Structure 1
Amino acid sequence: MVADAAARGIRSRDPEGRIVVLGDDADPPYTRPALSKKLWTDPDFTEADNDAGTASATGAEVRTSVRVTALDPAARTVTTDGGDVLGYESLLLATGGRPKPGPVEEGPRVLSFRTAQDYRRLRRLAGEQRHVVVAGGSYIGTELAAALVQNDTRTTLVTPDEVLGASMFPPELARHFQGLYEQAGVALRTGAKVAGGSAREDGVDVELDDGTTLGADALVYGFGIVPLTDLAEAAGLTVDDGVVVDEHLRTSDPHVFAAGDVAQYPDRVLGTTRVEHVDNAKTMGQAVGELMAGRTEAHDHTPFFYSQVLGTRYEAVGTLDGSARTVQDWQSGDGVGGPGVVYYLDDDGRVTGVLLWDVPGKTDEATQVLADTSPQDEGSLRGRITGD
């Protein structure tokens, strides 16, 4: 998604320059969030609809199933696994991340979830009342569990949280969130982790750390990613939980840029950070393309993140810590779980995160609240963001 947005950003300022996109994905750029959401919930939305159309929109040369094996900043070249050497004037590292591995070796019935190929594999393993175990209770795990249970799949979600979502949401909201999954028919194994197991030709035995074993047709990991910095490190670029860039998204080499999941950058509100969400990919991608093509203004967008599961959508800016002190502003007679805003405060009363629960279109206002570093309390926060 970063590569697609960057190509569009370049073209907005440079109609003639040559753009080459090299990626080890088997598919050209596509919308990644749909892999765990819309492709499962909208029968009229297909993989063809999910194609970003990068080549046709920008004239970029898109090469798939190509891995860059070396970067030479001095010569300004990259080398591919096929032996091709390409020169560049400006280079963008949009390498993203690799899924964190699980304890059972991946194979035909055990997979991590990151790419369109992973989506197709899981689709083949799901449905017809097959049983899929999802390991991991954060964004990708909860989205996959919701997607599977809505597609004729017996679904077990294994999460280390004692209540699903407790690491992100205050206790009352976490209980409501867990209830959505229970009502949908997801079997929850809370306070547990996958400790091991073995795959068979016709299924998987999944061992939990409490000593129980779950028989399943497939196991899918949703543990998040590790940023892919190997290429940058080998080239001598500065790396620290991602490829380090400045406010113009340049790395320690002025001709090499980085953006998206892999980039650690200075955010005007969040401070030095690395963000693994779609808004960041799209906005930073567009900005870095423009910067590569001559833009001089710094990148200054603070990204939000979102999830949409089981009829509920939440958006957030900043850090969601379920153990933090909160001010909860539920704005309907439904109380907790109805439309509302949750503000997360540090020990000094400063807002460090804002959760918008079924309150769309207010992320700019949430960012403004975060930018205000003065101490806050219920009196100053209630009613500050409304769902009107």
Structure 2
Amino acid sequence: MKHHKYLIVGGGMAADSAIHGIRKIDPSGAIAVICEELHPPYDRPPLSKSLWKDAQFESIWRSQHNLDIAIHIGKKIVNLDPARKTATDNAGNSYTYEKLLLATGGSVRRLSNADENVIYFRTVDDYRNLRQLCEHGSDFVVIGGGFIGSEIAAALAMNNKRVTMLFPESGIGARVYPRPLSEYLNSYYQEKGITLHAADTVRSIQRSGKKFVVTTENGKVISVDGVVAGLGIQPNTDLAAQAGLEIDNGIVVDELLRTSNPDIFAAGDVANFYSRLLEKRMRVEHEDNANTMGEIAGMNMAGQKHPYHHQPFFYSDLFDLGYEAIGELDTNLEIVEDWQEPFRTGVVYYLRERRVRGVLLWNTWNKLEAATELIAEKNEHTPATLLGRIRN
């Protein structure tokens, strides 16, 4: 049985950031990372963004900078005993710890009645598999019109592939973008050569030789070389539940990122934290949250008392369009659009009871601090008070 002062379950961005957080405070305490993937930590955003442009593949790997850690890749913790402070992996190895971090991330949602070779895009292996298909294939279906689906469709089209998008909503990003912007994106993607099947879902995906045959509920039959699905994730909470920790849309943590067991912390996609800015609990599946939360969790594991009061932002790249955003982006909220150039440059505000809850900075850069301050003011607003409030 191996003993480590710090045990980290998960090998993603939050886990790597936690290592650096620990080492800022404790330069020598033994750290072990148990990583189910067969790779050391890497940056995930480039998989659907810069690697399809001009970034080098090797640029994704996150350096450990000789921080003296043990990384056990290809291992999964399957049993956690908080009373004995032991964790056991799927190879039967046991580890003891003083402080433990659950950075278990999430698992992709999968389609029923679909061929097993559908790529549910999330990992570096998914990226490699899709790149390999692209070497010989020219036609692809992308299922999902949200964050990942819209990025992958754009990436494939920019690499001269014929792309068909299939999603149940009326438009790309329809759950977060105001209807006019979503409708503009539909037209914009079609101008880029992408075929859209909106308001439609998958009935079946089968193999026919080297081809995939996608049949939709609306009766469309599409023959392609590859199928990519971006359907979101479910937080990996099974281990936490088995250990008796509090679960509610993820692993519930306090402001110091401790779970209901004070010696077990959680961070990243799986952690349900309280946002002081929005005055609500939430779970955020984006890079800024993983990096910042992971580092603070690591520092607190090493004895600090830093509250996680950060409000994470998120961003996306869609051909030559891009955005940064913070807070709640939900089309069920009241929406105020302030375009400098319609659908090319502008700011979209999301309000509940006349208070700004979220800000979408569409091709508007270096304004995250202003957007955060606007939400924090908690003042009542009307369209008249918001128009022109944030500009490039």
Same fold (TM over 0.5): yes
Question: What is the 5 A alignment of 1:156-195?
Answer: 156-195=164-203
1:213 alignment partner, one of 221, 227, 239? 221
| Corresponding residue of 1:360 | 365
| Corresponding residue of 2:97 | 88
1:343 alignment partner, one of 317, 325, 349? 349
Deviation of residue 258 (structure 1)? 0.2
Deviation of residue 230 (structure 1)? 0.3
Q: SS of the counterpart of 1:82?
A: coil
Q: TM-score, normalised by structure 1?
A: 0.94
* 1:120 is the counterpart of 2:128: yes
Deviating more after overlay: 95-104 vs 230-239: 95-104
Give the Cα–Cα distance (whole angstroms) in 1 for the partners of residues 357 and 135 of structure 2: 41
Deviating more after overlay: 18-27 vs 358-367: 358-367
* 1:18 is the counterpart of 2:30: yes
Q: TM-score, normalised by structure 2?
A: 0.93
Paired residues of 2:213 and 2:223 also in contact (CA < 8 A): yes
RMSD of aligned Cα (Å): 1.4
| Corresponding residue of 1:41 | 53
Amino acid of the residue matched to residue 207 of structure 1?
T
Give the Cα–Cα distance (whole angstroms) in 2 for the partners of residues 197 and 49 of structure 1: 34
Deviating more after overlay: 127-136 vs 86-95: 127-136
Deviation of residue 323 (structure 1)? 4.4
Deviation of residue 107 (structure 1)? 2.6
Give the Cα–Cα distance (whole angstroms) in 2 for the partners of residues 286 and 183 of structure 1: 42
Paired residues of 1:129 and 1:154 also in contact (CA < 8 A): no
Q: SS of the counterpart of 2:98?
A: coil
Give the Cα–Cα distance (whole angstroms) in 1 for the partners of residues 185 and 209 of structure 2: 35
| Corresponding residue of 2:253 | 245
Deviating more after overlay: 82-91 vs 290-299: 290-299
- Identity percentage of aligned residues: 42
2:289 alignment partner, one of 253, 262, 280? 280
1:5 alignment partner, one of 13, 17, 27? 17
1:260 alignment partner, one of 251, 265, 268? 268
Deviation of residue 324 (structure 1)? 3.3
Give the Cα–Cα distance (whole angstroms) in 2 for the partners of residues 314 and 138 of structure 1: 14
Deviation of residue 153 (structure 1)? 1.5
Query: For the structure 1 residues 316 and 135, does the alpha-carbon distance in structure 2 shift closer, same or farther, using more than 3 Å as the test?
Result: same
Deviating more after overlay: 231-240 vs 205-214: 205-214
Amino acid of the residue matched to residue 63 of structure 2?
G
Paired residues of 2:255 and 2:307 also in contact (CA < 8 A): yes
Give the Cα–Cα distance (whole angstroms) in 2 for the partners of residues 150 and 275 of structure 1: 28
Q: How many residues align?
A: 379
Q: SS of the counterpart of 1:275?
A: coil
Q: SS of the counterpart of 2:249?
A: coil
What are the ranges of 5 or more consecutive residues in structure 2 without an aligned counterpart?
Answer: 1-12
Give the Cα–Cα distance (whole angstroms) in 2 for the partners of residues 114 and 196 of structure 1: 22
| Corresponding residue of 1:373 | 378
1:143 alignment partner, one of 142, 146, 151? 151
1:73 alignment partner, one of 82, 87, 105? 82
Give the Cα–Cα distance (whole angstroms) in 2 for the partners of residues 196 and 70 of structure 1: 36
1:73-109 CA-partner distances (Å, limit 9, x unpaired): 001111011111011111000000000001344533x
Amino acid of the residue matched to residue 25 of structure 2?
R
1:22-79 CA-partner distances (Å, limit 9, x unpaired): 111111100001111111111xx2221110113x342221111111111110011110
Deviation of residue 127 (structure 1)? 4.6
Give the Cα–Cα distance (whole angstroms) in 1 for the partners of residues 368 and 105 of structure 2: 24
Give the Cα–Cα distance (whole angstroms) in 2 for the partners of residues 276 and 14 of structure 1: 28
Deviation of residue 128 (structure 1)? 4.8
Amino acid of the residue matched to residue 357 of structure 1?
W
Q: SS of the counterpart of 1:370?
A: helix
Give the Cα–Cα distance (whole angstroms) in 1 for the partners of residues 175 and 218 of structure 2: 20
